Structure 1
């Protein structure tokens, strides 16, 4: 007989924490929360593996808040007692938001600060001078504050969390983290939260944890087929664009959607292609500053737009031995030119994502799992659709083998769609693709950078002193923009396949007919002329006679 599931009110939590949980409408804890929270409340170190979207953040945030509330009953001194390390700035903001939601009823007693952003260190000094109870940041930013003595953890720290632990080393934080640990006290409670147990996590375990409880939850890394439906469709490069156009324009894909590609150029190529048909999508990649990325994510979460085209450039192909090390080094050099603390497929919580489309096949099994993990989170339903070209078939086989090893009953099913039925749209897609040239993609990327410069707070004073530079930048137009053709916006009825007419809702803009407003009695002057009458038989020269009288 199965044991009854432990509920939040049975864990001995503070009433204020229970009220915050109730305000979030959490009826019962997830598996990771049910297992981890009681052990954490007992003061034990934890190494926990759970799939993305399983509630790992609350699993460590609730024990931290509970510990701080209990500590403040006997200790009045304000100090930083909890440190949460994250691999990306986006994840840092998400963790801060979750902690604030859980401290809704005790915000005066538990204060939290996120210093993971790209704000200047001096601007964050006043926040840290107030000694918030919980500090969130990336290892590099926390180490910077420790070295500049704006943050001191040597005596006050009681709890340490490393979230998405398997990503920290791959993001280049190995040395920063090792140096950071030297600034911490010898005794503290630690949590390592990860989606996978790899060699990096094992190294962290030896560095950070002391006799930890290891939670290897038996649940698979992805939800089962009752919650997540996974499809694949075999198509070549040109057909990928044809399919994405058809799915969006005929509303075959409905709801908020994340489209994943493998490079920044592909991001802008797909964005400009969709713009040809008045399908608006937003781009999310490592070239954008962190404030812009977080702003885009917030707007998406608030349903201000439905489509995001995202990259996950940090994911590496599964290689072996020295070849893998070489690739990592090459990637690290390339990533530093952008933002090496960027991450979309991991950590970031997009709300109510109905679909994930892998426009480009992910480079590894882990990348596939983390991409698809953006949908079907909590108890929501989700769909994942992956485009597969003939060169990507071995990657598809790797993913299917990995999922079969986890006993998933929902591996990637073939998507039953006959591409011959949408051949009528092919000429439109070719026409749109001709407009998206390499130069127009380059101009689109430059345009994004210009916009960021114009919106930059750091450059605001410079532009005030140099208005000419501001005007030049603002009025500098692209030399080779992607030409948008208005006629591609509408979908003619004759192009829609007969089999799809009953289920599609094409985005067709209808022309408004002009109608005269009838006020009072109808007169000869305001009466609409009868176009069927023959003008040669009903011609009068009264107008000319009136002109002649007025002239005389």
Structure 2
């Protein structure tokens, strides 16, 4: 079937679905949607590889909804007809939101439930008892519900989707997935969506798919240099803080920005450092409750915040063998009462999440493998939007840079990281300010900030959950970028003195404000001159002088 140039209205979709697509402003399907939707509607299994931001979610969501609407014309019985497996809770929430948007005009006929986000199985049981048409969840959560007999799939399931398939094994879902597949019917239609086709995806293909159509739509995993500009700066630890301060405070980096660091501790260290200069930023990591994480992402997409400091916490830091995975699981069990106690093993923001209109990605800590770099940088330059990726690279991180450059140049010569033309000597004047700020960001301050943030977000997430359900407007007012203030704040660091701004940057730093200041100075000078002229005229002693002649004493005597 030739699908070149197919539009949504030519795919035989339900009018209610077409109306929802029009409301979303999707005039034309993306390449993956154009190729995948007609094949899926024919009932074929699909293995689709397309880069991040290419519209993979809608590529499987549209045929799912269409086939459920078609089957309901003949079969009225309510049952779970489609299962969407995702590697992270954040992605689960996003997929549910997308399906709800697409079913805006047929929500009574097609119901969707996300069971990945909540911790309590009993709270989700009533939702599953209603037998939603589409269930979205992580493999471990779905398996838990099957074991608890809250969910039955062996008789009703018609379609299975595995989103971000290359991540499922790396997130430790191998055993859950294999166990889950035993509870599925013998015949069902399956879709595997992935940004890469690695060994894990090939293993999944053998387990799940039957005579699939393979779609490899983009050779490069990242957009070319006309859409995505990638730069690197070689600098040491102290210089990283100096650079990020200069770029953000002088507004050299503009638009929404994701700053990736390697650990949770680094998240709070950087947040406290930026607080010293009145630069607000949100923290996003695995210790925060899932409701808070999803709320932060939603508000960032709506434009509430400009900066998010996020971490992937080594989750995507390179391929692991099955023996390494079992060793890691053993370590996790041993350390479950220690450092990993509050962390969510189903957390992930560097991959899959659709951050809207991200202009820049800053790798404050450089990732240790090419896959992790691609996943991070893939948050910007999505769809047809331009983006910039800037990486800070210390001496220790140079081998990782070489690995990433080899992987990218293997993909395309366009993808290599270019040196960022920034003269460090021009910002030396700011170094003493950064050192002054770093003195306040002690280990104890970071620890206190971490505890304060978790307590605050737990309160917002759980205790106020019912209140926010009744008062949704108040939820919009809830902010996540407030100052934590466990460190001593020095007020003088808030402002940037004019004499510290490098000459080369003076035209770039707030040019509108500088123009206003110049106008105000000129206006003030004009007022002074005009008022001086008026005062000069009215108080000129030569013009105002009145001479009165004094009479001699003899004359006065005669008169008297």
Q: Which of 344, 367, 370 matches 1:365?
A: 370
For 1:88, the equivalent position in structure 2 comes to 88
Mapping 1:290-329, distance limit 5 Å: 290-318=290-318, 325=325, 328-329=328-329
SS at match of 1:409: helix
Counterparts of 1:320 and 1:175 in 2: how far apart (Å)?
A: 15
Equivalence for 1:403: 408
Instruction: Give distance in 2, aligned partners of 1:233 and 1:496.
Output: 20
CA distance in 1 between partners of 2:140 and 2:326 (Å) = 23
Q: Would the alpha carbon gap of residues 141 and 496 (structure 1) be closer, same or farther in structure 2, given more than 3 Å must change?
A: same
SS in 2 for 1:104: coil
Mapped contact 2:291–2:461 kept (Cα < 8 A)? no
User: 1: distance between equivalents of 2:3 and 2:351?
Assistant: 33
Structure 1 residues 173 and 332, CA, compared in 2 at 3 Å: closer, same or farther?
farther
**How large is the RMSD of aligned CA atoms in angstroms?**
2.6
* Cα distance, 1:49–1:356 mapped onto 2, change above 3 Å: same
Report the CA distance shift for 1:328/1:176 in structure 2 as closer, same or farther (over 3 A): same
Alignment of 1:64-213 (within 5 A): 64-213=64-213
1:264-413 superposed matches below 5 A: 264-318=264-318, 325=325, 328-329=328-329, 332-333=332-333, 337=341, 338-413=343-418
Deviations 1:313-355 (A, max 9, x none): 1435447879955774477556863111000101111111111
The question of whether the paired residues in 2 share the 8 Å contact of 1:32 and 1:217 is answered with yes
SS across alignment from 2:503: coil
3-state DSSP class of the match of 1:149? Answer: coil
Question: Which digits, 9 at most, give the CA deviation of each residue in 1:490-534, with x for residues without a partner?
Answer: 0000100111010112999999xxxxxxxxxxxxxxxxxxxxxxx
Q: Is the 8 A contact 1:314 1:331 kept in 2?
A: no
**Residues of 1 paired with 2:455 and 2:512: CA distance?**
32
Query: Do residues 218 (structure 1) and 218 (structure 2) align?
Result: yes
Offset at 1:423? 0.6
Is the 2:286–2:347 contact (alpha carbons within 8 Å) kept by the matching residues of 1? yes
**Cα distance change on mapping 1:318 and 1:26 into 2, 3 Å:** same
Query: Is the CA contact 2:234–2:394 (under 8 Å) kept in the aligned structure 1?
Result: yes
1:472 match: none
Q: 1:504 aligns with which of 499, 503, 509?
A: 509
Structure number with larger C-alpha Rg: 2
How many pairs are equivalent? 495
DSSP 3-state at the match of 1:499: helix
User: Do the aligned partners of 1:489 and 1:508 also contact (CA within 8 Å) in 2?
Assistant: no
Structure with the bigger percentage of helix: 2
Q: Which residue matches 2:534?
A: none
Q: 1:259 to 1:38 in 2, by over 3 A?
A: same
Listed one character per residue, the Cα deviations across residues 63-113 of structure 1 (whole Å, up to 9, x for unaligned) are 101101111111111111000010100000000111111112211211111
| Aligned partner (choices 434, 448, 454) of residue 459 of structure 2 | 454
- Distance in 2, matches of 1:508 and 1:432, equals 26
Distance 1:190 1:321 in 2: 26
- Is 1:491 the counterpart of 2:496 in the alignment? yes
Q: Counterparts of 2:106 and 2:322 in 1: how far apart (Å)?
A: 52
Q: TM-score, normalised by structure 2?
A: 0.84
Aligned-pair distance for 1:375?
Answer: 0.6
Task: State the SS of the aligned residue for 2:358.
Answer: coil
Going from structure 1 to structure 2, the CA distance change for 1:405 and 1:331 (only over 3 Å counts) comes to farther
Match of 2:231 in 1: 231
Change (3 A) 1:17 1:359: same
Q: Does residue 425 in structure 1 map to residue 426 in structure 2?
A: no
Instruction: Identify the residue that residue 523 of structure 1 maps to in structure 2.
Output: none
Partner Cα separation in structure 2 for residue 259 and residue 331 of structure 1: 29
Matches of 1:122 and 1:323, distance apart in 2: 34
Cα distance change, pair 162–460 in 1 and its aligned pair in 2 (3 A): closer
SS in 1 for 2:80: coil
Confirm or deny: 8 A CA contact 2:445 2:486 kept in the other structure: yes
- Partner of 1:51, secondary structure, is coil
* In structure 2, distance between residues paired with 1:480 and 1:26: 44
- Offset at 1:307? 0.4
TM-score by length of 1: 0.85
Q: How far apart are 1:212 and its partner, in Å?
A: 1.1
8 Å CA contact 2:170–2:316 kept in 1: the answer is: no
Task: Give the 3-state SS of the residue equivalent to 2:135 in structure 1.
Answer: strand
CA distance in 2, matches of 1:175, 1:87: 13
Distance, in Å, in 2 between the alignment partners of 1:402 and 1:105 is 45
Which residue does 1:261 correspond to in 2? Answer: 261
Structure 2: tracts of 5 or more residues without a match: 467-483, 518-560
Separation (CA, whole Å) in 2 of partners of 1:373 and 1:331: 31
1:382-423 Cα deviation digits (max 9, x unpaired)? 111001112211211111111111114142111111011011
| Partner SS, residue 367 of structure 2 | coil
CA distance in 2 between counterparts of 1:103 and 1:27 reads 17
